Amino acid sequence: MANNDKVDPKPPGDPWWSQAAAAGEGQPSAKPPQGGSTVSYVGGTVAQTSGMMGMPTEFGRYRVRKQLGGGGMGAVYLVENTELRREEALKVPHFGVGDDPEMRERFLREARAAAQLDHANLCPVYDVGTINGVCFLTMRYLKGKLLSDYTGKPQPPRKAVEITAKLAQALEAAHAKGVIHRDLKPNNVMMCAGVGPVVMDFGLAKQIKSEDQKLTQAGTTMGTPSYMPPEQVKGELDRIGPASDVYSLGVILFEMLTGRLPFKAATVA
């Protein structure tokens, strides 16, 4: 796929998700959180746009356009790479310049692991590093609709299987590189015209075998409880592996077929 990041919609007759994604082309990939967490930055002009408190309008070679979304691990912004004149998505973690060096090293290590991946159904990471002491990564800016837009009601079995098969192929490519996702869920899958489901946000990515594996294992249990396998819920980090992603994929398939999650509870206990 070309690096200009544009995906041409295919003619009628494409799978349903391809047509739906084409209809959503150009819309924000996610709604900005209301009153979301802010991130401390050094230098730059602070943007006055809603939801961007603390984010400079200029961040190194990136010009910040708007906030796309955020979560427990960080915030994501639409930016323009002023050197390449290309739109990209920039992610920054929810820790600042003076926070635990181990957290910063873990973020950079996991981002570099994600940058190894190359598959049509995996969102590519373009760059990883620090600017003014702030960790960041940039990735392809995807246009389409989130898979979570379709999981609120049962989908035709054939369509659900088509999506699951593509996601399984993407995970196979990641696992072959020794990388597991650890937070696979419909909110981390973008339905793109002409391509289908694209897995995003390897923010919790872990290398199966790594010399600095202890940094990953030093972290607390992270993920989305409804899609987490038992070993992840229990915090048994040494047991988390490719099968953990497969479990999450099974939950997604169940949700697409039934319109509901297999388990619902107020806590993970």
Instruction: Quote the pLDDT of residue 208.
Output: 58
- Find out whether 56 and 43 touch, Cβ atoms under 8 Å: yes
152 and 119 in a common domain? no
SS3 230: helix
- 47 and 64 fall within a common domain: yes
How confident is the model at residue 46, as a pLDDT?
31
- Is 6 a domain residue? no
In terms of domains, do 152 and 125 share one? Answer: no
Residues 6+ away with beta carbon under 8 Å from 56: 41, 43, 44, 45, 46, 47, 64
**Residue 264 within any structural domain of the chain:** no
Residues 33 and 77 in one domain: yes
Asked if residue 197 and residue 153 are part of one domain, the reply reads: yes
- Judge if 37 and 136 occupy the same domain: yes
- CATH for 205: 1.10.510.10
Structural domain contains residue 168: yes
0.85 surpassed by pTM: no
- 183 is known as an active-site residue: yes
pLDDT at 149: 95
In a domain, 22, yes or no: no
Report yes or no on 18 lying in a domain. Answer: no
Cα separations in angstroms, 82 against 2, 3, 64, 221, 234:
18, 15, 10, 37, 44
Indicate if 250 and 223 belong to the same structural domain. yes
CA distance 263 to 254: 11
Beta bridge partners of 12: 14
CATH number at residue 57: 3.30.200.20
pLDDT tens, N- to C-terminus, the chain (269 residues): 444 444 443 433 444 444 444 444 444 444 433 323 322 222 333 333 334 556 789 999 999 999 998 766 678 999 999 999 999 999 998 765 556 788 888 888 888 888 989 999 999 999 999 998 889 999 999 999 999 999 999 999 999 999 999 999 999 999 999 898 988 999 999 999 999 999 998 755 566 554 444 434 444 556 788 999 998 888 888 888 999 999 999 999 999 999 999 987 666 66
| pLDDT value at residue 209 | 52
65: nearest Cα among 45, 80, 82, 46: 80
How many structural domains comprise the chain?
2
Given 80, 113, 140, the domain boundary residue is: 140
In a domain, 8, yes or no: no
Which of the listed residues 101, 117, 140 is the one where a domain comes to its end? 140
* Residue 179 located in a structural domain: yes
Same domain, 165 and 115: no
Kindly state whether residues 151 and 251 are assigned to the same domain. yes
Range of the domain at 39: 28-140
Neighbours of 240 (CB within 10 A): 23
Cα–Cα distance for residue pair 165/160, rounded to 1 Å = 9
Co-location of 129 and 180 in the same domain: no
Same domain, 90 and 129: yes
> Looking at 99, 149, 183, 245, which residue is catalytic?
183
